[in-house]
Structure 1
Amino acid sequence: MLTFKMNNFRARKLMAALALAAPALSFAGSTPTPAAPNPAATAMRQMLAQRYPNTKFGDIQRSAVPGLWEVWMGANVAYVTDEGRHFVFGHLYDMQTQTDLTAAKREQVNLQIEAAKPKLIFADLPLSDAIKTVRGNGQRKLAVFSDPHCPYCRDLEKELSQVDNVTIYTFLFPIGSIHPEAADVAQSIWCAKDRAGAWKAFMATGKSPQSQRCAAPIERNVELANKAGIGGTPYIIFTNGDKAAGLLDSASLERRLSRN
Structure 2
Amino acid sequence: MSRRLALLAAASVLWSPTLHAQPTGPDTQNLEQERAAAEQQLHQTFTNLKFEGFAPSPVVGPIYQANAGGRILYFAPKSGHLLFANVFDRNGVNLTALAQEEHARKGLAAIDPVKALAIGPIGAPTVIEFTDPDCPYCRALDRFWAAKAAEGKAVRRLIYFVSGIHPEAAAKAEHILCSPDPSAAFKAIYEGAEPKRLATCPVGKAKVAEDAELVKRIGVSGTPTVIVDGKILAGFQQAELQAFLDASAEAPPKTGP
Q: TM-score, normalised by structure 2?
A: 0.54
How far does the alpha carbon of each residue in 1:167-189 deviate from its partner, in whole angstroms, 9 at most, with x for none? 111111212xx311211111111
Q: Secondary structure at the match of 1:162?
A: helix
Map of 1:126 onto structure 2: 112
Which residues of 2 match residues 58-207 of structure 1 at below 5 A?
A: 58=86, 113-121=100-108, 124-135=110-121, 138-163=123-148, 164-175=153-164, 178-207=165-194
> Alpha carbons of 1:118 and 1:134: their partners in 2 closer, same or farther (altered >3 Å)?
closer
Q: TM-score, normalised by structure 1?
A: 0.53
Corresponding position: 1:39 with 2:29: no
How far does the alpha carbon of each residue in 1:125-152 deviate from its partner, in whole angstroms, 9 at most, with x for none? 22343221114x6421011010111111
Identity %: 26
Q: Which runs of 4+ in 1 moved over 3 A?
A: 34-37, 55-59, 107-113, 115-118
Q: How much does 1:58 deviate?
A: 4.5
Q: Secondary structure at the match of 1:174?
A: coil
Aligned counterparts of 1:37 and 1:145: Cα–Cα separation in 2 = 38
Q: How much does 1:241 deviate?
A: 1.2
Aligned counterparts of 1:247 and 1:58: Cα–Cα separation in 2 = 20
Q: How much does 1:112 deviate?
A: 6.3
Unaligned runs of at least 5 residues, structure 1 = 1-33, 43-54, 60-104
Superposed CA RMSD = 3.6
Aligned counterparts of 2:155 and 2:213: Cα–Cα separation in 1 = 26
| 1:38 partner letter | F
Which residues of 2 match residues 239-258 of structure 1 at below 5 A?
A: 240-249=229-238, 251-257=239-245, 258=247
Q: Secondary structure at the match of 2:104?
A: coil
| 2:156 partner letter | T
Q: How much does 1:41 deviate?
A: 11
Q: Secondary structure at the match of 1:244?
A: strand
> Alpha carbons of 1:117 and 1:143: their partners in 2 closer, same or farther (altered >3 Å)?
closer
Query: Which has the larger helix fraction?
Result: 2
Unaligned runs of at least 5 residues, structure 2 = 1-45, 56-82, 252-257
| 1:130 partner letter | A
How far does the alpha carbon of each residue in 1:195-226 deviate from its partner, in whole angstroms, 9 at most, with x for none? 01101111112424742222121111111111
> Alpha carbons of 1:255 and 1:203: their partners in 2 closer, same or farther (altered >3 Å)?
same
